[in-house]
Amino acid sequence: MRLFSPQQLAQNAFCPQDYEQLAESYLEKGLFAYLSGGSGQEHSLADNRKAFHEIQLNSRLLNDVSKGSSELTLFNQTLAAPILLAPVAYQSLVDPQGEIATAQAAKTSGIGSVVSTLSSQSLEKVAQAAPPCKLFQLYLQNDDAANQALINRAVEAGYQAIMITLDTSVQSVSLKARRLGFVLHQQVEAVNLRDYDHNQNPTGKTLFQGLMAQAPNWQSLGNWIKQSPIPVWVKGVMHPDDAIQLKQMGVTGIVVSNHGGRALDNSPSPLRVLPAIRKAVGKDFTILMDSGIRDGYDVFKALAMGANAVMLGRLQIYALAVGGAVGVAHMLKLLIEELHLCMALTGCKNLTDIRADKLFIQPTQIQQSL
Amino acid sequence: MRLFSPQQLAQNAFCPQDYEQLAESYLEKGLFAYLSGGSGQEHSLADNRKAFHEIQLNSRLLNDVSKGSSELTLFNQTLAAPILLAPVAYQSLVDPQGEIATAQAAKTSGIGSVVSTLSSQSLEKVAQAAPPCKLFQLYLQNDDAANQALINRAVEAGYQAIMITLDTSVQSVSLKARRLGFVLHQQVEAVNLRDYDHNQNPTGKTLFQGLMAQAPNWQSLGNWIKQSPIPVWVKGVMHPDDAIQLKQMGVTGIVVSNHGGRALDNSPSPLRVLPAIRKAVGKDFTILMDSGIRDGYDVFKALAMGANAVMLGRLQIYALAVGGAVGVAHMLKLLIEELHLCMALTGCKNLTDIRADKLFIQPTQIQQSL
Amino acid sequence: MRLFSPQQLAQNAFCPQDYEQLAESYLEKGLFAYLSGGSGQEHSLADNRKAFHEIQLNSRLLNDVSKGSSELTLFNQTLAAPILLAPVAYQSLVDPQGEIATAQAAKTSGIGSVVSTLSSQSLEKVAQAAPPCKLFQLYLQNDDAANQALINRAVEAGYQAIMITLDTSVQSVSLKARRLGFVLHQQVEAVNLRDYDHNQNPTGKTLFQGLMAQAPNWQSLGNWIKQSPIPVWVKGVMHPDDAIQLKQMGVTGIVVSNHGGRALDNSPSPLRVLPAIRKAVGKDFTILMDSGIRDGYDVFKALAMGANAVMLGRLQIYALAVGGAVGVAHMLKLLIEELHLCMALTGCKNLTDIRADKLFIQPTQIQQSL
Amino acid sequence: MRLFSPQQLAQNAFCPQDYEQLAESYLEKGLFAYLSGGSGQEHSLADNRKAFHEIQLNSRLLNDVSKGSSELTLFNQTLAAPILLAPVAYQSLVDPQGEIATAQAAKTSGIGSVVSTLSSQSLEKVAQAAPPCKLFQLYLQNDDAANQALINRAVEAGYQAIMITLDTSVQSVSLKARRLGFVLHQQVEAVNLRDYDHNQNPTGKTLFQGLMAQAPNWQSLGNWIKQSPIPVWVKGVMHPDDAIQLKQMGVTGIVVSNHGGRALDNSPSPLRVLPAIRKAVGKDFTILMDSGIRDGYDVFKALAMGANAVMLGRLQIYALAVGGAVGVAHMLKLLIEELHLCMALTGCKNLTDIRADKLFIQPTQIQQSL
């Protein structure tokens, strides 16, 4: 039985991660494997957590943070915390309200929200429930007219930016889910794409002649950047050279991400490439980061490593599965409290204080410091 | 059934750590989780042990230590070993005599004792049982009069110094204990604070406007240092810059500590920051260290890394739970024997011999030494 | 019951490694231990996998790989992928068709094949089923006439090269298999050697006077290189100095290999020595690599570390055990798809693009990049 | 039931380590804990194995080792392999013949033997069974006359050297054994000490005033070196400075050892300090090494790191427990075969070839070699 009252949630979830275990107990095995699993042998999925565990924080004393705040201004909107809900596809798999519920939770919590091309509720309906800071995530379709129509609809619905995901020209469904017989397309419909021809299966013999022949390239991305009336972001950046080129092409922000370990397996945790990417694009370019964030400490670490804000995927969907909109809001409350705790005890009055000097770096040779 | 006779203890506890397992078998699950648990995901709790395990000792031959001794002079008192019992709160949770029993054990064993603001026996009663080397640990209250009164009472009762704890402006009770339904305030009373208004719950919306707005700052600490008729120590230091500033403000000594993994989770083991802090304050400033010490080898390592003495928290409370004052004294006997063994086999006649050259540092490249 | 139809295989094996678990469920315990085990305490067997896990890949965006291909030209033959089936001995242990089945799968899949001296089908029969790119693996016999006869037969049968294995002058059968009572020679016959005297047991008291006194040396290898009418390769190279000397002696290519962890235990994974060997022989010398490859990601990593192509041993025999020729072909299909995925998502149009810059190297000190 | 025939042993033990598991199944739990356990929390016991696992070997091709041999000349005696049985105390605990059986096995196997002061058979009886290369291990007694008498008896009995153990001025019996109620002195008698007053319990209050006040010092060691008519060795060296001083005082050889993890817990594996000690004493001084050796690969590694020979403690006693003298000889046969295998496959014709260049050292940065 799912939990819907704040009291029930408070008695069962004491930290954001608790929602994972609770979700596992409610969801059908194959579906949970699909949601929690990664691509390939899940090396990236594991590294996403490992990289956070390798980082430690400098506790400081007597910090005057009485005027402290975790607010962030994005698109002229003030967020209560540097957090956006990531564009998780097909949320009706775990909750009948799906994206509308998570959008409501984001609004209530004062954070941002990114809606997926593959949402189970129409982008227009979700926009109505969503907070002022809302983005539309776009998987570029083979059909140019469809892309144009989707962008137009997003602009009309009030989205502030288009976030184009580029790391999954090839999607790999979790092997665990497949072994359990989970088949995504029997259970969901991509309602936003209902009017377009989006199920063209590539006919090439190899991946190169098939999916990759249809994949977007630098030129097509350039065209969409020029044509979009609202800013364009790119999600899935994992290399400084790609970040530089995107910045030069006019992209407004990037998301450093390995798609939560669902894109190329064996890619490192985005946390490992974040410092080099920050260095490459300079301090004034907006970088979001996702993949592996499970608590407020991780948010703090991601910011100290160079991100302006983070996105939450799995935590969002687990909390949605457990408690609907109320569950997501409760999870966010716990997580933001942890972020505030980190800020207070490391002496960060605001987000710009969260820099690398707040991280503890072990001397390579203990003897040097003796 | 608890063990009270020295014989029973000697047949069940062969090393200090054995008291942990014994305590677990006697105590209610939630209470044991509260005592043994750390904050957050317990990363710091784990690192507190891991850091000790990474250190190895140089065994030396034919050491003439026949005149050896582990004595330390602190506040003109001679301790038999460089050990103080840490200010563990609410000791009546595990033993009806509580702080009186542990103070007696410290006295019998010839070591020092620090009594908590949150003791379950009044600071005056504990002082009577305590050894000559006794300190009063102070959590600064929002009420200045209360702080003044507590300091006056401590001076009058014969405490030699005030140890102000600064690393827990925010306390995080173990998630494990909370999941087990453990609620601290149903079971204990802060008797020392009975006459003061100490339960003001902050009303701010966020941590910043609430607890942190009331937290002590550098200025208020400075005032208490000036006003205190006895020396002031600070507990919870984790950064060289804080240590330098505290020394400059007139603090007499510091405790390098992450509160046994109960303060900011993800902070490193104090052992990792100890060498840099020693370097920062110079060799003549008194540094205590706690967090993660479970045997006499750990005491030796802490001293070799830069501490003058250590404090014992969990070992104290586990031994108290198992065998009362006799249990604590037995645990201390085992631990001091291990310290003596380390000194004898590394060739340390006294505590000043316990320096970094007694630690084995692995060459970074094995080939270099081949 | 074994699986023979493509449908059954597709429903049970979702990645190449799945064949290992399936094989284990079909095969007699001792036989599986023999096939899966390594020499000694299996340190090398474990390191063969660990070395691959330590390597991460750079995911890149918007790669134009629509003309991509994993083709490799070897001996004027075009392979669909840089893969050869390794010369696994006595394949009739797991399938009645044995080497004929695996040769057929290689042919169907467009890759190369290496046939063992110890094949359970005659080298002539296997040659008929094998793909155009076929090599004959030779264990040098004590009897020179036998060696000469084997080389002649291989030339006549159409093999393109002789691959002499040099890392197993002493063979160590898996301790696990021996503990389970597995005895190889009761179950198989080396049909290729039927007409030669190949079972001379050495009579020396020690290994030095026995097996090692009969082992090939640099001079005897030199003779066979000169006498062979077709190119000679050497398998089992693990040191740059050996690689240089082999190149100077006229060897056409080498296989960097620790025999899948079945030769000298405690030797490192070949992946660890590959870069130094590539550096030693220069970029134009052909290097194959085997030992530890379990998926297409591993193939990509081996190439990025310096190999031109890889050989598959255990994956081949597991798939053969599960599904015969069809199983091997299905395993190869899955593995090549993974290789294509890696190429597409790292931006490699062809094999020459798979270089070290496609690997993610963690900065040694995170602070340097902050 | 113990195993006595070579056939039974060969069917149950396939490598030296197999004797450990077999011994565990025969021996009483407390006794096995005493034999297998280490001091303290067994950190050193674990590191003794870990250090060997961190080392890898360079496999080489076409090595001409047909004239190979693992012979070593020690005290003008030729050993078949660089191995001596370590002076394990009270061997009658596991076999009624005890030290006589192990001495016979050493003789049969052509290796050396060191007999303990605490042997359960008299040193004279053991000498008769022992191989030509035999040493007498001496724990210096508080009674000078006893020491003199023991040395005289050893000389008379034909021992070639005295090996004085110096790392256990304080002995710590395994906590595991003590928890299981194992009490050594109820079961054994130190027959060699029967005529001397050797059970003086020190009366000092602390370790310093007690055991350590009676412990040998540099001066008393110097006296015994001068008075001994046969060469003196020292066992338990773990620091280059101690090694240098011992060499200068006239010691003939040293044993780098942490007493198999039974002396100072938290001391590193002797393997880690071996290269620095070899560097300190130069290449012509004899160094033995023990602690952690469980197979022939370990022997090879110890020699490559700087030892001239090794001693076997636990393997000896496990094999004795399982199969008496025949068991020890079988264990030695398996172990020497592994050493020969390592020599053959790394290209070592004799022991002087086993140098550091036979070890594989991982480049610290993989990129450097790419």
Would you place residue C103 in the very low, low, confident or very high pLDDT band (cuts 50, 70, 90)?
Answer: very high
Q: Which of residues 119-158 of B touch D (CB under 8 A)?
A: none
pLDDT, residue D212, reads 78
Say if the Cβ atoms of C361 and D360 lie within 8 Å.
no
pLDDT, residue D98, reads 96
**Which residues of D are part of the catalytic machinery?**
259
Task: Measure in Å the smallest separation between the Cα of B212 and chain A Cα atoms.
Answer: 5
Distance between CA A87 and CA A136 in Å, rounded? 8
> pLDDT digits over D25-80, tens only?
989 999 999 999 999 999 999 999 999 999 999 999 998 898 999 999 998 899 99
Would you place residue C364 in the very low, low, confident or very high pLDDT band (cuts 50, 70, 90)?
Answer: low
Q: Hey, where are the domains in chain B? A: 6-197+206-369
Q: Count of CB contacts below 8 A, B vs D?
A: 120
Q: By CA distance, what is B362's nearest residue in D? A: D272
pLDDT at A367 over 60: no
Distance between CA A82 and CA A304 in Å, rounded? 12
* Predicted TM-score (pTM) of this structure: 0.96
Instruction: Find the mean pLDDT for residues A318-322.
Output: 97
Chain D residues lying within 8 Å of C175, measured CB to CB: 14-15
Q: Which of residues 176-235 of D touch B (CB under 8 A)?
A: 178-179, 206-209, 211-213, 215-218, 221, 234
Task: Measure in Å the smallest separation between the Cα of D338 and chain C Cα atoms.
Answer: 9
pLDDT, residue C186, reads 72
Q: Which residue type, as a one-letter code, is found at position A188?
A: V
**Mutation target vs C (from A57, A170, A173, A212; most C CBs, 10 A cutoff):** A212
pLDDT, residue D200, reads 61
Instruction: Find the mean pLDDT for residues B121-134.
Output: 98
Task: Judge whether C198 counts as a catalytic residue.
Answer: no
Q: Which residue type, as a one-letter code, is found at position D153?
A: R
**CA quadruple D44, D48, D54, D58: dihedral, nearest 10:** 160
Say if the Cβ atoms of A306 and C365 lie within 8 Å.
no
Task: Measure in Å the smallest separation between the Cα of A136 and chain B Cα atoms.
Answer: 30
Chain B residues lying within 8 Å of A66, measured CB to CB: 208-209, 212-213, 215
Complex-level ipTM: 0.95
pLDDT, residue B197, reads 73
Active-site annotation holder among C53, C185, C198, C259:
C259
Are residues B192 and B119 in contact, defined by beta-carbon separation less than 8 angstroms?
Answer: yes
Chain A residues lying within 8 Å of B264, measured CB to CB: 57, 59, 341-342, 345-346
pLDDT at A4 over 80: no
How many beta carbons lie within 10 A of that of residue D245, not counting itself?
17
Distance between CA A143 and CA A137 in Å, rounded? 17
Say if the Cβ atoms of C14 and A179 lie within 8 Å.
yes
Would you place residue C1 in the very low, low, confident or very high pLDDT band (cuts 50, 70, 90)?
Answer: low
| Partners of C161 in beta bridges | C135
SS (HEC) of D210-275: CHHHHCCCHHHHHHHHHHCCCCEEEEEECCHHHHHHHHHCCCCEEEECCHHHCCCCCCCCHHHHHH
pLDDT at B325 over 90: yes
Are residues B112 and B310 in contact, defined by beta-carbon separation less than 8 angstroms?
Answer: no
Chain C residues lying within 8 Å of D301, measured CB to CB: 266
> pLDDT digits over B15-48, tens only?
999 999 999 998 999 999 999 999 999 999 999 9
> pLDDT digits over D196-214, tens only?
876 666 667 788 887 777 8
pLDDT, residue A325, reads 96
Say if the Cβ atoms of B217 and A14 lie within 8 Å.
no
pLDDT at D366 over 60: no
Q: Which fold would CATH assign to domain C6-197+206-369?
A: TIM Barrel (3.20.20)
Across the interface, which of C207, C216, C356 has its CB nearest the CB of D337?
C207
pLDDT, residue B167, reads 86
Backbone angles phi and psi of B310, in degrees to 5: -125, 165
Give yes or no for A37 touching C (CB within 8 A): no
Say if the Cβ atoms of B268 and A56 lie within 8 Å.
yes
The candidate with the shortest Cα–Cα distance to A198, out of A159, A263, A147, A125, is A147
Pick the more confident residue, D61 or C169: D61
Would you place residue D100 in the very low, low, confident or very high pLDDT band (cuts 50, 70, 90)?
Answer: very high
Q: What are the residue ranges of helices labelled H in chain A?
A: 6-12, 18-26, 29-36, 43-53, 99-109, 123-129, 144-157, 175-179, 211-214, 218-227, 240-249, 270-281, 296-304, 314-346
**DSSP designation for A214:** H
Sign of the torsion formed by the C-alpha atoms of D145, D151, D154 and D156 = negative
Distance between CA B310 and CA B302 in Å, rounded? 7
Q: Do chains C and B touch (3 or more CB pairs under 8 A)?
A: no
Give yes or no for A337 touching B (CB within 8 A): yes
Weakest mean pLDDT among A115-124, C1-10, C239-248: C1-10
Kindly report the CA angle at A212 between C69 and A276, in degrees rounded to 5? Answer: 95
Across the interface, which of D53, D60, D66 has its CB nearest the CB of C212?
D66
pLDDT, residue B366, reads 54
Say if the Cβ atoms of C268 and D362 lie within 8 Å.
yes
Are residues D344 and C212 in contact, defined by beta-carbon separation less than 8 angstroms?
Answer: yes
Instruction: Find the mean pLDDT for residues A161-166.
Output: 96
- Helix (H), strand (E) counts: chain D: 14, 12
Q: Do chains A and D touch (3 or more CB pairs under 8 A)?
A: no
Chain A residues lying within 8 Å of C60, measured CB to CB: 238-239, 242
